[in-house]
A = this chain, B = another copy of it.
Amino acid sequence: MINNFIHSKAIHHIHEECGVFGVYSQTAMDVASLAYYGLFALQHRGQESAGIVVNDDGLFRDCRGMGLVNEVFSQEKLQALGSGNMVVGHVRYATTGGSNMVNVQPLVINHHKGRMALAHNGNLTNSFALRSQLEEKGSIFHTTTDSEVIAYVIVQERLKCGSIEEAVYRAMERLEGAYCLVISSPAKLIAARDPHGFRPLCMGKTREGAICFTSETCALDAVGAEFVRDIAPGEVVTVDAQGIHSQQGHCGKAPKSLCVFEYIYFARPDSVVDGACVSLARQQAGRFLAMEHPVDADVVIGVPDSGLEAAIGYAAQSGIPYAIGFTKNKYIGRTFIAPSQGRGKTA
């Protein structure tokens, strides 16, 4: 793995589109596999790297790596992660340039009050300012991610208050921008969503009663969990041996602003995001397009994959037949050797 440590002041996280997943079970179970299937369902949100951290009664075991979920995890590695009562998982979007093994999440750090695994989807707007303040006090940074800044801010708050969830809540007052967090402390699993609700985050429950937090409902389906509710913008939800409790003080402080690209492009069509089915939202968008921009055509063709539903909606509204016009070669993956001037294709 070759890493490029570019200067921290030049870091821009334009495409911080990731997927997070966490589980809290009252009894030890194979949480690593739950995370594996959850991350597989969230794979469309990040193909650069993947990681799972199992919390086995305060002992943290992690497996993280560059690549797709099926490249990072093997049967053997999942078994080595063992059982536990908590897990945190993360898939990360392929950004150009800053791809970096040390940046692979979840982040696992040790601090005065114990240990913490943190998975983060989003990007801060005041990351540089926070980082500079910390460095001026002697802090050292291993990564170039916002997530390490968030971890530092939480740890600082933790020194001043009585619980990790209170520390997360206080930290949210200092963090600006988009963030959905799933955090495991030795004894608690915490989910937090920024006051704007830029990125989706929801809660589910497996048949055995384990609580899941994840970016999209399709990950709940993948592990056989039922959707319970969305995490509200500004909310902190904590699960521990005593049960679930929520702190909502930040709610309503900011206008709700779910990123529209979640419906148009990012989310999987079978997910329900903040109460709306992504597939139906895309069909509806196609119907609106047909009403606003009617055309005279023989067929309506969608560009796979996110454009297919919109095409179906356009076809239904306009009465023009729907057809399949593009056949994707499903075998073309990251190892495909693209044709160049000198090879293969004519011309």
Chain A residues in the interface with B (C-beta under 8 A): 1-8, 30, 33-34, 36-37, 40-41, 43-44, 58-65, 68-71, 73-75, 77-78, 80-81, 102, 108-112, 115, 132, 135-142, 144, 151-152, 155-156, 159, 206-208, 218, 223-225, 268-270, 279, 305, 308-309, 312, 315-316, 321-324, 327, 329-333, 335-337, 339, 342-347
Q: Are A61 and B4 in contact (CB under 8 A)?
A: yes
Which single member of B7, B36, B312 contacts A323 (CB below 8 Å)?
Answer: B312
Partner of A151 from the list B4, B102, B140, B155 (CB cut-off 8 Å) is B140
Q: Which residue of B lies closest to A140 (CB)?
A: B109
Closest 10 pairs between A and B when the two form their complex, measured CB to CB: A33-B344, A112-B135, A224-B346, A5-B60, A207-B346, A33-B343, A110-B141, A2-B80, A109-B140, A43-B331
Copies in the complex: 4
* A37, B344: Cβ atoms closer than 8 Å: yes
Q: Is the CB of A330 within 8 A of B327?
A: no
Contact A69 B331 (CB under 8 A): yes
The interface centre, meaning the residue of A69, A218, A270, A345 with most chain B CB atoms within 10 A of its CB, is: A345
Question: Are B111 and A336 in contact, with the CB atoms below 8 A?
Answer: no
Residues from chain B with a CB closer than 8 A to the CB of A324 are: 269, 279, 308-309, 312
**Would you give 11 A-B contacts (Cβ < 8 Å), ordered by A?**
A2-B81, A3-B108, A4-B59, A5-B115, A36-B344, A37-B344, A44-B331, A109-B142, A112-B132, A223-B345, A330-B330
A208 and B140 in contact (CB under 8 A), knowing A37-B339, A330-B330? no
A68→B140 CA distance, assembly (Å): 29
How many Å from the CB of A29 to the closest CB on chain B? 10
CB of A61 within 8 A of CB of B3, answer yes
Query: Which of chain B's residues have a CB closer than 8 A to the CB of A331?
Result: 40, 43-44, 68-70
Task: Report Cα–Cα, A68/B269, bound state, in Å.
Answer: 29
Question: Which residues of the other chain, B, contact A77 by a CB distance below 8 angstroms?
Answer: 2
Is B268 within 8 A of A346, CB to CB? no
Q: How long is the Cα–Cα vector from A135 to B139 in the complex, in angstroms?
A: 11
Is the Cβ of B142 less than 8 Å from the Cβ of A155? no
Per the bound structure, the CA–CA distance linking A115 and B143 in Å amounts to 11
